[in-house]
Amino acid sequence: MNGRGWMRDLGPARPGRRLGIVVRAGLVLGLACVAAGGAEGWPQWRGPLATGAAPDAAPPTAWAEGSNVLWKTPIPGTGHSSPIVWKDRVFVTTAVETENATPADAVKDAEAAVPEFHRAKARLPVKQLRFEVIALKRADGAVLWRRTVCEEAPAAATHADGSWASGSPVTDGERVYAYFGSHGLYALDMDGKPVWQKRLGVFKMKADFGEGTSPVLCGDALVLCQDQEGPSFLAAFDRKTGAERWRVPREEATSWATPLVVERGGARQIITSATGRIRAYEPGAGGVLWEVGGMTGNVIPCPVADPERVFCMSGFRGSALLAIRLDKAAGDLAKTPEAVAWSKGKDTPYVPSPLLCGGLLYYLKGNAAELTCVDAATGEPHYAAQKVEGMGTVYASPVGAGGRVYLTDRQGLTVVLAQGKAFEILARNKLDDSFAASAAVAGGELYLRGRQSLYCLGSK
């Protein structure tokens, strides 16, 4: 489908309409930490370039429980947040169940709030939780410190496959920032000392599926987007003090996509993807720079970008992928159809985010192990919805490093493919854990956060 073929979806948002996109532009993410982290760092959700790739990393191709596992550290509680890596440390968040029961009336109210179609599978807040940030020694996986930032009952139920610690942390090398949604935003120094905290409200998520967006850095500010069934907003905070700089309302229902910070032509943009509209905001006060529609509902995948285009997709009850020309993105994109370089309407992901590396765009179909690879510049498919035999349901986003693509399913299998235009499986690696969190890659290591343990995989 060419750029003009989808213009009927570009008008003002309407209830139930197909939805929007998000952007990242150029080669710079706008994070103060990228340069300092270098090849040795994975400082945020989706890596140093927010593409899912670590261009200079070289993790192993093959491993098993008894081979190329440098260390394996049990992580208490549950959480689907990805680990981040900074120099000699690895950070992860979790929610640890305590012995203290949630008041019966609160559990009853939480259960009543879950839609009937989801109630049988929902996880109810029957116990109070300790919301924790954990730092591990990168060399051997030893726990350096555990910091409980909050202890209380969950504000609502969550999806049976979800967790109450699904937002990934981010670091600038001076502080670690962790967002637990209804349970607060926290800044800790690298030794776990609390620096500041913010309670931003109690949020109502669609179908009580749980919270999961991650904070991002934009210059000297920390930015987060909270789209929910109540008043949604985008906000920026001073990363040193936590002081709120601005907050702008958003006419959006629940979405889970993390904002993306772009730097283009010497100026930054904060781009959000959501059910109604995709909007780019200027970081000084949150004014809207451009906007567009075009996605399906329940946006979870985060966008990726090369220097010329940004790629946005979603896959709930439909499929949508837009490749937006960044040099044409201004104002209402419905008036500039040439801003859409190309688009597609099938085989896009529901939960996993895409991977962009080597001029190729990789994405899964729904939550299935069916991989598509297209040319990022033209949209030309090299292979489409190619079934990866032996893999089950996939929630984790693919990652790329060392000329390879890594896909991990919930059952503990990681399939390694050659990066390139041909579909070629290099290895199949099984671990004794279940995986929903996306991997992190740094240097010669691949970090996989399972339900029970955090693995560091590398050549011994």
Q: Which residues of 10-30 are buried (b: 16+ CB within 10 A; e: fewer)?
A: beebeeebbbbbbbbbbebbb
Strand order in the sheet with 360-365: 355-357, 360-365, 368-375, 381-387
**Where does the pLDDT of residue 351 fall: very low under 50, low under 70, confident under 90, or very high at 90 and above?**
very high
Please provide the DSSP assignment of 214-268 as one string.
Answer: --EEETTEEEEEE--SS-EEEEEEETTT--EEEEEEE------PPPEEEEETTEE
Q: Residue 324 belongs to what domain range?
A: 3-457
Total number of domains in the chain: 1
What is the distance between the alpha carbons of residues 241 and 196, in angstroms, rounded to a whole number?
Answer: 6
pLDDT of residue 453: 98
Q: 296-348: per-residue pLDDT in tens?
A: 999 999 988 898 888 999 999 999 999 989 889 999 999 998 999 999 999 99
Mean pLDDT, the chain, whole residue set: 89
Length in residues, the chain: 460
Tokens describing residue 8? 């009927």
Q: Are 328 and 339 in contact (CB under 8 A)?
A: yes
Q: 38-60: per-residue pLDDT in tens?
A: 446 999 999 999 999 998 999 99
Q: Are 390 and 415 in contact (CB under 8 A)?
A: yes
- Which contacts qualify for 324-332: CB closer than 8 Å, 24 or more apart? 324/21, 324/23, 324/292, 326/23, 326/25, 326/26, 326/262, 326/264, 329/23, 329/280, 329/290, 330/289, 330/290, 331/290, 332/290, 332/291, 332/292
Work out the percent of the chain whose per-residue pLDDT is above 90.
76
> Looking at residue 178, which CATH number applies to its domain?
2.130.10.10
- Give the side-chain half-sphere CA count within 13 A for 282: 9
| Tally of helices (H runs) and strands (E runs) in the chain | 3, 33
pLDDT at position 433 over 90: yes
**Where does the pLDDT of residue 114 fall: very low under 50, low under 70, confident under 90, or very high at 90 and above?**
confident
Looking at the DSSP assignment, which residues form a beta bridge with residue 219?
none
What is the distance between the alpha carbons of residues 104 and 406, in angstroms, rounded to a whole number?
Answer: 44
Q: 64-80: per-residue pLDDT in tens?
A: 999 999 999 999 999 99
Averaged over 211-216, what is the pLDDT? 96
Q: Are 198 and 184 in contact (CB under 8 A)?
A: yes
pLDDT of residue 32: 37
Closest among 53, 167, 93, 90 to 441, alpha carbons compared: 53
Closest among 201, 200, 169, 207 to 187, alpha carbons compared: 169
Averaged over 421-426, what is the pLDDT? 98
Q: Are 439 and 415 in contact (CB under 8 A)?
A: no
Tokens describing residue 259? 């904002």
Closest among 246, 238, 278 to 262, alpha carbons compared: 278
pLDDT of residue 40: 64
Q: 136-156: per-residue pLDDT in tens?
A: 999 999 999 999 999 999 999
- In sequence order, the 6+-apart residues with CB closer than 8 A to the CB of 76 are 94, 96, 132
pLDDT of residue 357: 96
pTM for this entry: 0.91
Closest among 429, 434, 419, 436 to 457, alpha carbons compared: 429
